Amino acid sequence: MNRFFLSIFFLGILLLPAWLPAQEKYLEVTAPGNRQLQLSIAAPVALGGGAQADIANEMRDVFQFDMALAGPFAVLQSPVAETRSGIRSGEFDFAVWRAAGADMLIKSGYTVSGQSVTIECRLYDVLTQKELAAKRYNGGRRDLRRMVHTFSDDVMAAVTGIRGPFTSKIAFVTTKSGNKEISLMDYDGHNVLRLTRNGSINLYPDFSPNGRELIFTSYKKRNPDLYRRELFSGTEARVTTYRGTNISGAYAPDGNRIALSMSKDGNAEIYILHKDGKQVARLTHTDAIEVSPAWSPDGTRIAFVSDRLGKPQLFIMDADGKNVRRLTTAGSYNVNPRWSPRGDRIAYCRQVGGGFQIFSLNPDGSDDTQLTSDGSNEHPRWSPDGRFITFSSKRGGREAIYVMRADGSGQVKVSRGNASDSQPVWSPRW
């Protein structure tokens, strides 16, 4: 046996030169910084029929908003005078746009036929003069914004490889009717649709993974119970009938289970229910208050809030309740965790001064980064692609819904009106 191993050893020595890395003929090419692509958005043109300024303006506004928020782009604002203003290759001059400093160019046009609108959008790389994306959409007049949002998603897919979230929705709690009701809007604040009309208090909305259902807590039966609503049929069902609080429900990634906080056994603990209300498991067994469960994207772990150490802190446990470990070590009041769909970050709120700010950190607790600083900001929720976060903020006086990029940049208010809007949650892509 010794001779065998010695033979293998010497064979390895003989073959060592082959195993050594061969001298590779490579040179390093490095550059500092991280540049944004200079994107020009040409004014939409009428492809057939008469020009309609309202359609062109709306298309341009939607593109401007989406691309300014997207992140990879810096939208050029200076207008470019074109002698040829077609939208297809060969119908316009790239040199004009190159001279304006554009790296990318969006060209679009529309055709109106009765109540139907057809739009054609194209994305070009100005330097290489290549067409990166070209789509044509047809729909009713009221679908115009959605069609433009769809091409914005396509632009993100062409440039970054991952579709954007611009066609998704945000559900939120609003006091527009005088009560706290749940409404639905486009991510940019348009097309607001009221979902609940029970005249009671409705809180903590959360979408199912397929986006077809919404769970929320409602006091309409004089007890905070969990309800499930099918968005397209409007059917609503009561999920929990337990006395006490049934709050902060969170759909599991598999779409069949719901984690929530219930106080039916005394104090608020984390439970897992089947979506029809049947109890599956109780995950926490302490004298402390446990709330706000948040599933990891793979469904194997749950982040939650517990005051078992005296003040609310974030903890992580396995989906069966085992292996509980502390997540946050900074700050004395940390709440509202939400796991990024990419699984690499967890957003949460920390009490800072007299208000709250939004932070994000790695699932192992490292790289804790503050994302907001203006006013008081709460309830962060991720977009389906993990690029953006929606949250509520009181920076403008009345609470409103904002969106920002995952690194905290590009914060912009999206909710409209004078009501108090809060507890936003971002839908999956529809």
Partner 1 sequence: MTLTFTRREWGLGTLIPVSLLFHIAFYAFCWWLHFFPTIHLPDAPVYYVDVVSLPVASPQAGTPGPPAQSAKEATPPKPRPQASEMKLPAPRSAARPQPSAKPPVSGAKESEQAAREFEERLSRIEKANEARHEAAALAALRSRAAGGTKPVGMPGGTGKEAGSDYASYIRSRLVDAFKTTIAYQSKDPRVIVTLNIDRTGRVTRSRVERSSGDRLFEESVKRAIAKAEKEFRPPPGGGVFEYGFIFSPQGVGKQ
Interface residues with partner 1 (CB under 8 A) are 3, 6, 10, 13-14, 16-17, 24-37, 71-72, 103, 125, 127-128, 159-161
CB-count exposure of residue 11 (10 Å: 0-12, 13-18, 19+): exposed
Rounded CA-CA distance 194/143 in Å is 18
Specify which residues 181 forms β-bridges with: 174
Nearest-angstrom CA–CA distance, 13 and 17? 8
Q: In whole angstroms, what is the distance from residue 305 CA to residue 286 CA?
A: 13
> Which residue, 30 or 323, is less far from partner 1 as judged by CB?
30
Greatest CA span in the chain, whole angstroms? 91
Write out the two tokens for 314: 């974030």
Nearer to partner 1, 3 or 84 (CB): 3
Strands 37-41 and 73-75: parallel
C-beta separation of 274 from 237 below 8 A:
no
Q: Which residues, 6+ apart, have CB-to-CB distance to 404 below 8 Å?
A: 371, 372, 388, 389, 391, 410, 411, 412
Residue with Cβ nearer partner 1 (29 or 81): 29
End-to-end CA distance of the chain: give it in Å, rounded: 65
What's the Cα-to-Cα distance from 252 to each of 38, 259, 339, rounded to whole Å? Answer: 40, 7, 12
Give the count of beta carbons closer than 10 Å to the beta carbon of residue 159.
19
Q: How far is the CB of 132 from partner 1 (least distance, A)?
A: 9
Q: Which is nearer to partner 1, 29 or 53 (CB)?
A: 29
How far are the Cα atoms of 28, 272, 289, 311 from residue 286, in angstroms, in the given order?
56, 16, 8, 14
Q: What's the closest the beta carbon of residue 116 comes to partner 1, in angstroms?
A: 35
Between 10 and 430, name the residue whose CB sits nearer to partner 1: 10
Min dist CB 330 to partner 1, Å, is 22
Least distance in Å: CB of 161 to partner 1?
4
Nearest distance, CB of residue 80 and partner 1, angstroms: 20
> Cβ of residue 297: shortest distance to partner 1, in angstroms?
18
| Minimum gap (Å) between residue 409 Cβ and partner 1 | 13
* C-alpha distances out from residue 82 to 111, 133, 222, Å: 21, 22, 64
DSSP letter for 278, please: -
Nearer to partner 1, 379 or 387 (CB): 387
CB of 3 to partner 1, least distance (A): 7
Residue type, position 29, single letter: V
Nearer to partner 1, 129 or 332 (CB): 129
Q: Pick the closer one to partner 1 by CB: 111 or 160.
A: 160
Q: Of 314 and 361, which has the nearer Cβ to partner 1?
A: 361
Structure tokens of 162? 């991952």
Least distance from C-beta 157 to partner 1, angstroms? 9
